[in-house]
Amino acid sequence: MHPAIVAAALDALAVLVPVSCAGCGSDDRGLCSACRSQLVPTLVEQRLDGGLSVMSALPYDGVARRSILALKEQGRTDLARPLGRPLAVAVAAAVAAMDATIEVVIVPASGRSYRRRGYDPVRLLARRAGVPIARVGLRAGRGLATQKTLDREGRMANVVGSMHATRRLSGRRFLLLDDVVTTGSTLVEAARALRSAGAEVVGCVTLAYTPSRLLGLSTETAQRQ
Ligand SMILES: [Zn+2]
Reported as a single tens digit per residue, the pLDDT across 93-122 is 999 878 778 999 999 988 888 888 999 999
Categorize the per-residue pLDDT at 213 as very low, low, confident or very high, splitting at 50, 70 and 90.
low
Separation CA 124–CA 79 (nearest Å): 10
Residues of the chain with pLDDT > 70: what percent? 82
Beta bridge partners of 208: 58, 180
- Closest by alpha carbon to 22, among 5, 9, 38? 38
Q: What is the mean pLDDT of residues 184-188?
A: 93
CB atoms closer than 10 angstroms to residue 2: 7
- Could you tell me the residue range of the domain that residue 216 belongs to? 40-223
Task: Give distance in angstroms: CA of 27 to centre of ligand 1.
Answer: 8
What pLDDT is recorded for position 78? 93
Q: Where residue 114 sits, what CATH number does that domain have? A: 3.40.50
Q: What is the mean pLDDT of residues 53-57?
A: 96
Task: Give distance in angstroms: CA of 24 to centre of ligand 1.
Answer: 4
- Closest by alpha carbon to 108, among 76, 75, 143, 78? 143
Greater model confidence, 28 or 213: 28
The answer to whether residue 133 is domain-embedded is yes
Categorize the per-residue pLDDT at 2 as very low, low, confident or very high, splitting at 50, 70 and 90.
low
Task: Give distance in angstroms: CA of 26 to centre of ligand 1.
Answer: 6
Contacts 24+ apart (CB under 8 A), 150-157: 152/183, 152/185, 152/216, 155/182, 155/183, 155/185, 155/186, 156/183, 156/185, 156/188
Categorize the per-residue pLDDT at 160 as very low, low, confident or very high, splitting at 50, 70 and 90.
confident
The answer to whether residue 85 is domain-embedded is yes
Task: Give distance in angstroms: CA of 40 to centre of ligand 1.
Answer: 14
The answer to whether residue 30 is domain-embedded is no
Task: Give distance in angstroms: CA of 129 to centre of ligand 1.
Answer: 21
Task: Give distance in angstroms: CA of 25 to centre of ligand 1.
Answer: 6
Task: Give distance in angstroms: CA of 83 to centre of ligand 1.
Answer: 14
Separation CA 216–CA 219 (nearest Å): 8
Task: Give distance in angstroms: CA of 33 to centre of ligand 1.
Answer: 7
Task: Give distance in angstroms: CA of 76 to centre of ligand 1.
Answer: 14
Name, in order, each residue with C-beta under 8 angstroms of 185's C-beta and a sequence gap of 6 or more.
Answer: 147, 152, 155, 156, 158, 159
Q: What is the mean pLDDT of residues 18-45?
A: 91
The answer to whether residue 191 is domain-embedded is yes
Q: What is the mean pLDDT of residues 175-189?
A: 95
Greater model confidence, 77 or 9: 77
Task: Give distance in angstroms: CA of 32 to centre of ligand 1.
Answer: 4
| Total count of domains within the chain | 1
The answer to whether residue 9 is domain-embedded is no
pTM metric for this prediction: 0.83
Contact 169, 201 (CB under 8 A): no
The answer to whether residue 128 is domain-embedded is yes
Question: Hey, what amino acid is at 132?
Answer: P
Task: Give distance in angstroms: CA of 20 to centre of ligand 1.
Answer: 8
Separation CA 47–CA 148 (nearest Å): 21
The answer to whether residue 31 is domain-embedded is no
Separation CA 161–CA 158 (nearest Å): 8
Task: Give distance in angstroms: CA of 23 to centre of ligand 1.
Answer: 4
Task: Give distance in angstroms: CA of 219 to centre of ligand 1.
Answer: 35
The helices-and-strands tally (H runs, E runs) of the chain is 9, 8
Task: Give distance in angstroms: CA of 121 to centre of ligand 1.
Answer: 21
The answer to whether residue 4 is domain-embedded is no
